[in-house]
Amino acid sequence: MQEFAVQTSRLRQWVRQHGEGTAVLFIHGNASDSVYWEEVMLALPEGYRAIAPDLRGYGQTEDVLIDATRGVMDWVDDLLALLKELNVDRYHVVGHSLGGAVIWGLLAADAPRILSVTLAAPGSPFGFGGTRDAEGNPTTPDFAGSGGGTVNPDFPARIARQDTSDEGGSPRDIMNRFYWKPPFRAAREDALLEGLLREKTGPDRYPGDFVASENWPGMAPGIHGPINAISAKYVGDTVQRLLAQTHKPPVLWIRGDSDQIVSDQSLFELGTLGLLGAVPGYPGQDAYPPQPMVSQTRHVLEAYGPFKEVVFQDVGHTPYIEKPDEFMAEFVAHLKSTQLETSPAQS
């Protein structure tokens, strides 16, 4: 595994890389970094060049602010600049969670160069929070209940002080309760925890800022940080643009049946928490239903075209770590189904 920094036209980005051949771009999720993809990268067969950057705001990449008003496009533009520096033309792309949300924007911006897409428990194409139905219609005009104000402030505070304990609510505890389905524990738990703890925190970073709202639960998205960037408020016309593409690379969508982070009743989404009585003043399911994240992804992919949905049983939010052999079988078959017609030197 190679690790190095790449200075692009936008920022200094940290990259993990392994192998030679057709490029495969790996995009990590929130509260993690590229270390989460190492085992998958190493397990790829010969003929593939695995590239996994730390996104802006994460890992060892230069600490540059995220303009959330652009949605995921700061990350998309960073990735396109990185691919240019690495002399990558056509490529496969893989994204987990927030990384899957980034892929929706990447597809809208760069579909003709993408050979295939693999989504592992991806964020909804309509963003995280603030929408009420499979079509992504907003729950309130200001998208209240999404963005930086929805994050329990104790979690980024524990990241900031590099808490490695196993106490309730600690990063290690959250990782082991929600990233995968208990009682599963990752073999490289400490390395993965270190990757989580490398996220940049603060009001302008993770979780980001927020503004007061007249609508329940009393806060709406701000303009900085990753959680605002994935708010439905800033999705814009991303879905329309990706559906309008004439070249539509095939999509493999893998998720766990026990995912508590991205689901139709996510325990990290205010509609679900309100319905469970965990947030005061809940106005009721008619006014603020849980966001149907999985249904939204399926709705968009059915309109998009070529996709395959695979559901792993007894798996939480990170199927490629929880069931690596099953994931690799599906993933490699998907990669090989789209053969690049150029030489490795041109890829």
Contact 229/94 with Cβ under 8 angstroms? no
Residues 6+ apart with CB under 8 A from 230: 71, 72, 98, 101, 123, 127, 128
Dihedrals phi, psi of 289, to nearest 5 degrees: -75, 160
Read off the DSSP letter of residue 338.
Answer: S
The yes-or-no verdict on residue 342 having pLDDT over 70 is no
C-alpha 1/C-alpha 268 separation (Å) is: 34
The yes-or-no verdict on residue 49 having pLDDT over 90 is yes
15-to-25, 90, 258, 305 alpha-carbon distances in Å:
11, 18, 31, 32
**Band of residue 340 on the pLDDT scale cut at 50, 70, 90:** low
54 residue type, one letter: D
C-alpha 195/C-alpha 218 separation (Å) is: 32
Return the CATH number of the domain spanning residue range 2-346: 3.40.50.1820
- % pLDDT > 90, the chain: 97
Nearest to 143 by CA among 247, 221, 212: 221
The region, left, alpha or beta by phi > 0 then psi within -120 to 50, assigned to residue 225 is left
**Band of residue 338 on the pLDDT scale cut at 50, 70, 90:** confident
The yes-or-no verdict on residue 188 having pLDDT over 80 is yes
Contact 120/133 with Cβ under 8 angstroms? no
Mean local confidence (pLDDT), 29-34: 98
> What's the helix, strand, coil split of the chain in %, to 5?
35, 20, 45
Find the helix packing angle between 73-85 and 98-110, rounded to 10°: 70
C-alpha 95/C-alpha 97 separation (Å) is: 7
Q: Where are the domains of the chain?
A: 2-346
Q: How many CB atoms lie within 10 A of CB 244?
A: 11
C-alpha 230/C-alpha 226 separation (Å) is: 6
C-alpha 6/C-alpha 61 separation (Å) is: 9
216 residue type, one letter: W
Nearest to 219 by CA among 153, 170, 174: 153
Read off the DSSP letter of residue 291.
Answer: P
222 residue type, one letter: G
Quote the pLDDT of residue 108: 97
Is 0.75 topped by the overall pTM?
A: yes
C-alpha 231/C-alpha 108 separation (Å) is: 17
Tokens, residue 11: 């920022």
Of the given ranges (193-207, 233-247, 273-287, 331-345), which has the lowest mean pLDDT?
331-345
The yes-or-no verdict on residue 95 having pLDDT over 80 is yes
Mean local confidence (pLDDT), 146-152: 96
How do residues 281-336 score in pLDDT, each as one tens digit?
999 999 999 999 999 999 999 999 999 999 999 999 999 999 999 999 999 999 99
**Band of residue 343 on the pLDDT scale cut at 50, 70, 90:** very low
How do residues 196-223 score in pLDDT, each as one tens digit?
999 999 989 999 999 999 999 999 999 9
Nearest to 122 by CA among 246, 27, 217: 27
Q: Average pLDDT, whole number, for the chain?
A: 96
End-to-end CA distance of the chain: 19
C-alpha 243/C-alpha 192 separation (Å) is: 35
The b-or-e profile of 50-63 (16+ CB within 10 A means b, else e) is: bbbbbbbbbbbbee
129-to-65, 142, 175 alpha-carbon distances in Å:
22, 12, 21
